[in-house]
A and B are shown apart, each in its own frame.
Chain A
Amino acid sequence: MLGLRARSAVVGIGESEYARHGQASASEFELTLRAILASVEDAGLTVDDVDGFVSYGDDKNEPIRLASALGIPELKLAACQWGGGGGGSAGHIALAAAGIAAGLADCVVVFKASAQGQHGRLGLGRGSYGAGEESVGYNLGGAASAPYGLFSPPQKYALRATRMMEVGGVPRSAMRAVARAAYHHARNNPNAVFASKSLSDAEYDESRWIAEPLHLYDCCQESDAAAAMILVAADRARQLRHDPVYVLAAGQSGEFRAGAGAENMAHYDTGGASLLAPRLYSEAGVRPADVNVAQIYDNFTVGVILSMIDHGLCTYENVSEVVSFDNLIAPNGAMPINTSGGNFAEVYILGMSLHLEAVRQLRGSARNQVPGAEICLSTGGPMTALTSSAIFGSSNTV
């Protein structure tokens, strides 16, 4: 089998300004362009080298518009990972890596932009806003949920959290630890939207309910920002400015009946990556115990914990010991996660910023560096119908 292992590598990363929703100084499209230019510069390439763009989740910035705006000589790969929200936030890396391995394109930008000030706050949910509006269908905010007051992501995922706690026995302490680790890491990251915020146990516990059992600090922020990375073939990557960060494995997964609407997905007590994770570890040639640091898509604390279980970083049985604040923080925790602050506290670009942090960790240039990190797991949005993940490795892993 050919596979994707180490056939391509990340050679450049770039980001726009990171702002709270409604507070960016530029349009979403301009934020996207600025992130792309920053990634090109970081790689030591030129804009004319870029010949592909891949994004995910209904991104509004079409590759051909980007290519035309940037005056790129020829666009050879324009692709988007299906699936709403952040479920595909690592799947687009798999598409780019596959495109490079197959020769469809040579220098591919993977990116995501989300300006919730410009395009609407995701936390308000989909569906109708005004009196007398109509709803249809079985997606969140459709006829099967909106008339009952179920519109928004935290409400939907509160149902998952109730199961995780009441049936799975996951304690509140694990959720609190996930939230606190993110804010803790952001304190050392001047680029983080919540760089100046700290979160204590008491502040977490006393924060208002959004939808029980989710407190305010179980939920991620809403932002205006864009981020991008450049992938090229492994042999070309070795001639560029930075040590390559190799794609050891990446892929997507939609499990049996995962897309059945109105909360009828078959596997309700997982994050949706229980088939994907073993497949990716096998392709990467590593085990969960080999992961030095992980960026776990943090839409909600419940999703982080389910994703960690799916990816073998803990189990339902040992979650209360493993998922503690001390274990989750760099540099010395047993399994540091979301070391830049994650979606919770750095910025929420539906998971894209997590991959940039994975690259920084494997270059050894992270603000909260895990000493000697060589393998970083970087996951897509959990609890979504279609999920995705990536495993990155430093030069020593190839």
Chain B
Amino acid sequence: MSYLPTGISVPKPLPDGLDREAFNRLARHRLAVRRCADCGTWQWPPEVICHECRGFALTWEDVAPAGYVFSWTRIWHPVRPVLRGAVPYVVVLVELPAAGNVRLIGNLLGSAGQSVRVGDSVTGVYEDHDEGFTLLQWQKSGR
């Protein structure tokens, strides 16, 4: 059971392999974020060079999927036919304090009408799809 209907879009790694490791780990329910082995800078999205020290020694580091809502939107207008029965749905932009405050896009699981505010604590939930990919979704942390 996925948050949005199947058939929206199947995410694939970049053709040059830059983000393949993130996909591989996500399939094993691990969140991997790019990090510079030389200066420790966290980086998202992945790039071939570190934007702080300009070194090329970038690695992948597992991060606990927990963070805060940096921003959010509740989407009402379906821009794809497949989404007509799925609106409204909530998209969150989640900041990861444990990984240099990089931000990840996901959906907020639960009722689309639930109240959500910038700063809400959220925890990651891995969502496996039959088409052979995994998404990292979010739910509000218990309080």
In the complex, how many residues of chain A place their beta carbon closer than 8 angstroms to a beta carbon of chain B? 48
- Bound: A212/B118 CA distance, A: 13
In the complex, are the beta carbons of A162 and B72 less than 8 A apart?
A: yes
Residues 99-143 of B, flagged 1 when their CB comes within 8 A of A and 0 if not, give 000111111000000000110000000000001010100000000
**8 Å CB contacts to B: which residues of A170-224?**
208-214
Q: Please state if B103 and A155 are interface contacts (CB–CB under 8 Å).
A: no
B82 contacts across to A, CB distance below 8 A: 131
A135/B12 in contact, CB under 8 A: yes
The answer to whether A210 and B105 touch across the interface, beta carbons within 8 angstroms, is no
Instruction: Tell me the minimal C-beta distance from B79 to chain A in angstroms.
Output: 5
Given A151-B79, A262-B45, A264-B44, decide whether A132 and B131 contact each other with a Cβ distance below 8 A: yes
B135 touches A147 (CB 8 A): yes
Q: Pick the contact of B76 from A147, A167, A212 — CB < 8 Å?
A: A212
For B45, give the chain A residue with the smallest CB separation: A138
Please tell me if the beta carbons of A136 and B80 are within 8 angstroms of each other in the complex: no
- Interface membership of A124, Cβ < 8 A: yes
For chain A, residues 229 to 261, give those with C-beta under 8 angstroms from any C-beta of chain B: 257, 260-261
Number of interface residues of B (CB under 8 A): 43
Which residues of chain A are near B83, meaning CB under 8 Å? 149
Q: Are A262 and B75 in contact (CB under 8 A)?
A: no
A148 near B91 (CB under 8 angstroms)? Answer: yes
Measured between C-beta atoms, what is the minimum distance from A46 to chain B in Å?
46
- Contact check: which of A148, A167, A261 meets B135 at CB < 8 Å? A148
- Distance in angstroms from A248 CB to nearest chain B CB is 34
Contact call B73/A212, Cβ cutoff below 8 A: yes
- What is the number of contacts between chain A and chain B, taking CB atoms within 8 Å? 135
Q: Interface majority SS on A: helix, strand, loop or mixed?
A: loop
Nearest chain A CB to B35's CB is how many angstroms away?
Answer: 14
Contact B9 A263 (CB under 8 A): no
Q: A155-B75, A159-B71, A159-B91 are in contact. Are A147 and B8 (CB under 8 A)?
A: yes
CA distance A89 to B19 in the complex (A): 32
18 contacts between A and B (CB under 8 A): A124-B79, A136-B11, A136-B12, A143-B11, A144-B105, A145-B105, A149-B8, A149-B107, A150-B75, A151-B79, A155-B91, A159-B71, A159-B73, A163-B118, A210-B76, A212-B76, A261-B45, A264-B44
Residues of A within 8 A of B (CB): 123-125, 127-129, 131-138, 143-152, 154-155, 158-163, 166-167, 208-214, 257, 260-264, 268
Contacts A146-B9, A210-B75, A268-B71 aside, 17 further interface pairs with beta carbons under 8 A come to: A129-B80, A131-B7, A136-B11, A136-B13, A144-B11, A144-B104, A144-B105, A149-B91, A150-B105, A158-B75, A162-B73, A163-B71, A209-B88, A212-B75, A261-B45, A262-B45, A263-B103
